[in-house]
Amino acid sequence: MITPQVTVVVPCYNQAHYLADALGSILAQTFRDWECIVVNDGSQDNTIDVVRTWVERDSRFRYIEKANGGLSSARNAGIMAARGDFLQFLDADDLLEVEKLAWQIQTLNDNPHTAIVYSDVRYFSEDAPQESRFSLFDPDEPWVEPAWLDPRPFFEKLLEDNMMAVNCPMLRRSVINRVGLFDEKMHALEDWHYWLRCAAKGVAFQFAQAPNTLALVRIHPASMSQNRARMRHARYEKAVRVGSLLKDPGLRRKNFDVGLHSMTADRGGVIEYQLLRLAWANRGFNILRPLVEAILSRRPRISKLVAFLVDACHSNAQKILK
């Protein structure tokens, strides 16, 4: 069996009505040495019928079916079945411009120390597909390239905000061997969490753009990104999980702040639990002291239990959290 250079992994859950567009954008690529694995993540629609026509049309399309487990689980299934030396992710409702695979493979081949190369992104509405936006939300301004050009260290920038859409990067298969698979307990922003894990392992990123190499993200009512509450909680969960990766106290504090500003629960003691979980993950009950005072002054309804628990743990924090 001939091994393709790149594997495109397409997770699909009840998005058969968009899938043909996504697969068509793969078929249209100027780079031809690819395989595309569609992972049916327990869909209840006609995904299997749509994929069957593409598999019959071109043997480079492959099909995997599994019980529903979420995006991370579906991507992992595709990764484990992949034969390519390079990996490209494409959600079933999104598209790739025609030169993306060719340009990014060339970039990786020309830069052997780069392990992940990523392009820019545009967003389009299903109601107005001819119109594209730089950003999901206002202001509608470029953000991918400006973030890359920011002179601060890459990891510090990535800790504050995701610097790419999930369809923007192409990565070497060796990244998976070094970092592992996606965290299947993350049900949103799992890609941001993964890029942070990569950066913490010293994986080298590179932004590189050229004509016709954009990732194109479709905006529609069922888009996960439209669920603000879910995204906000995912930012908090990401901050908790990333805390254990951080050695530098300044980065831990920055990560703590990101998680702190993402918390929304404020009843039944939940926010106290979230604060302490976040602090523990970032190795510093001691960093809570000034923050707790500020929070209590702004939000007096929050239980004094936070301050009590911080004081109780503070004396042993250094021993416990080293």
The predicted model gives 44-70 an average pLDDT of 95
Calpha distance 126→93 (Å, rounded): 10
The predicted model gives 155-181 an average pLDDT of 95
Instruction: Report the pLDDT value the prediction gives residue 271, as an integer from 0 to 100.
Output: 61
The predicted model gives 38-52 an average pLDDT of 96
Strand bridging mode 132-133 / 169-172: unpaired
Reported as a single tens digit per residue, the pLDDT across 60-119 is 999 999 999 999 999 999 999 999 999 999 999 999 999 999 999 999 999 999 999 999
Reported as a single tens digit per residue, the pLDDT across 206-245 is 999 999 999 999 987 666 555 666 777 778 888 888 888 8
Reading the block at residue 131, the tokens are 């119109």
**Alpha-carbon torsion 22, 26, 28, 29, what sign?**
positive
Report yes or no: 114 and 205 within 8 Å, Cβ to Cβ. Answer: yes
Instruction: Report the pLDDT value the prediction gives residue 90, as an integer from 0 to 100.
Output: 98
Reading the block at residue 105, the tokens are 């493979």
**Average pLDDT taken over every residue of the chain:** 84
Place of tokens 């920038």: 157
CATH architecture group of domain 6-226: Alpha-Beta Complex (3.90)
Domain coordinates in residue numbering, the chain: 6-226, 229-321
Which residues have CB under 8 Å from 230's CB, separation 6+?
Answer: 188, 224
Calpha distance 115→304 (Å, rounded): 48
Calpha distance 224→195 (Å, rounded): 19
Reported as a single tens digit per residue, the pLDDT across 8-25 is 999 999 999 999 999 999
Please state, as a whole number, how many other Cβ atoms lie within 10 Å of the Cβ of residue 139: 7
Of 33, 36, 169, the C-alpha closest to 92 is 36
Question: For 3-17, 195-209, 281-295, which range has the lowest pLDDT when averaged over its residues?
Answer: 281-295
Instruction: Report the pLDDT value the prediction gives residue 320, as an integer from 0 to 100.
Output: 37
Q: How far is CA 68 from the centre of its chain?
A: 19
Instruction: Report the pLDDT value the prediction gives residue 321, as an integer from 0 to 100.
Output: 38
Helix axes 16-27, 47-57, angle to 10 degrees: 20
Calpha distance 255→282 (Å, rounded): 8
Q: Tell me what percent of the residues of the chain surpass a pLDDT of 90.
A: 60
The predicted model gives 21-43 an average pLDDT of 97
Calpha distance 136→124 (Å, rounded): 9
pLDDT exceeds 50 at position 268: no
Residue 314 pLDDT class (50, 70, 90 cuts) = very low
Q: Is 41 exposed, middle or buried (0-12, 13-18, 19+ CB in 10 A)?
A: buried
Q: How far is CA 170 from the centre of its chain?
A: 13
